Amino acid sequence: MIRSTTIIGLRHKGKVAIGGDGQVSYDEAILKENARKIRSMYEGKVLSGFAGSAADALTLFERFESKLDEYEGNLSRAAVELAKEWRTDKYLRRLEALMVVVDKDHSLWISGNGDVVEPDDGVVAIGSGGNYALAAARALMKHSKLNAEQIVRESLLVAASICVFTNDKIIVETL
């Protein structure tokens, strides 16, 4: 598990949202409170977020963007190709990060072990507070009338109230 942040992305009622907290930690110290860990890609059609080392994540963002361009925005294909490259490339194999990527049709969780997972319910979460945000989002999707952006925000606030590596300085992007 990456002890660093919380990122959650979801598709709900035809809308797409992704969000992350702003905390940057090193060991048990908070270094920064307002980091931006999510990004819009492919002309605003794809949203992505990372948990882990910032330098590693930026490298992955660049590689993923190039895969999206190469495969003309096909999110699933770009994710599989990134995961394959990440797992087999001598340099990339050492990167310590996880990614989530979402578009109007897919929500994917990508790891350096070659994993590309698409949950049945369209909710993906990573980082130390990921499971807390995931549980909150699933409950809110089922038992509230909140929209995708509101569910992401509320789920991150739940995670921030539990996880010491997650703060309440939240950034949410939507499609």
Catalytic residues: 5
Residue appearing with tokens 């109230």: 161
**Quick one: residue 65, left, alpha or beta (phi over 0 = left, psi -120 to 50 = alpha)?**
alpha
DSSP 34-48: ----EEEETTTTEEE
Q: How far is CA 78 from each of CA 35, 118, 120, 122, 154, rounded to the nearest angstrom?
A: 26, 14, 19, 18, 30
Contacts of 99 (CB under 8 A, 6+ apart): 48, 49, 50, 57, 60, 61, 64, 109, 110, 111, 126
Identity at 73, one-letter amino acid code: G
Beta bridge partners of 41: 46
